[in-house]
Amino acid sequence: MSSHSVDDFKDVVGHFATGVVVVSAQTLDGPAGFTCQTFGSLSLEPALISFSASSQSQSWPRVRVASTVGVNILESGQESLARVFATSGVDKFAGVSWSPAPGGAPLLDGALAHLEGRIVSVTTQGDHELVVAEIDFVVRHEGRPLVYYRGGFGVLT
Ligand SMILES: Cc1cc2nc3c(=O)[nH]c(=O)nc-3n(C[C@H](O)[C@H](O)[C@H](O)COP(=O)(O)O)c2cc1C
């Protein structure tokens, strides 16, 4: 039996500052995506990344079945984009400029870096799914990262 509440746990893990990404995919019903901070590199050879997707997410089931998945590492000026892609039930891509990666995944203009790959494993871990993708395409741009720390957005100076 754990001695801490869910809020305690969220508050403590929130002390770990992270970058912010938008996981994206092109689907039969148009582009889909969601804001994510559980992104990380998992293996260099092969190039594998991981992230965890909430079982409550409406976008994840659409991303999961896409042929490729995109990861957009957000730039310091993209806080409003991060907020839009964290809002359920809205047309997140309305007015957002993007271009397709080689495999078709939406790459958001202005992001700091992009990756595209194929999902190779999904395992249920509590109330989320742990996703592993093998990366086939990477590109970086100039800029500073958007960061997330203790429930708030910030930039690295
Ligand atoms: C900074 C930040 C980080 C987030 N990280 C994750 C994450 O790692 N995994 C996840 O499933 N949801 C994460 N979320 C929540 C999703 O973005 C949100 O639940 C989702 O976008 C809701 O829309 P959907 O129902 O269309 O998926 C995060 C939200 C914010 C603001």
- Find the mean pLDDT for residues 88-112: 98
Exposure class string for 44-63: b at 16+ Cβ within 10 A, else e: eeebbbebbbeeebebbebb
DSSP 8-state class, residue 120: E
pLDDT in tens, 61-90: 999 999 999 999 999 999 999 999 999 999
Distance 86 CA to ligand 1 centre (A): 5
- Find the mean pLDDT for residues 141-148: 97
Give yes or no for residue 48 CB within 6 A of ligand 1.
Answer: no
Name the pTM for this structure. 0.97
* Contacts for 43 with CB less than 8 Å, ≥ 6 apart: none
Contact 123, 39 (CB under 8 A): no
Domain boundaries, the chain: 20-147
Distance 141 CA to ligand 1 centre (A): 24
pLDDT in tens, 1-59: 788 999 999 999 999 999 999 999 999 999 999 999 999 999 999 999 999 999 999 99
CA atoms in the 13 A half-sphere facing the CB of 75: 14
CATH of 20-147, one of 2.70.98.10, 2.30.110.10, 2.40.50.140, 3.40.50.300: 2.30.110.10
DSSP 8-state class, residue 145: B
Give yes or no for residue 54 CB within 6 A of ligand 1.
Answer: yes
Q: Which residue lies with its CA nearest to atom 23 of ligand 1?
A: 88
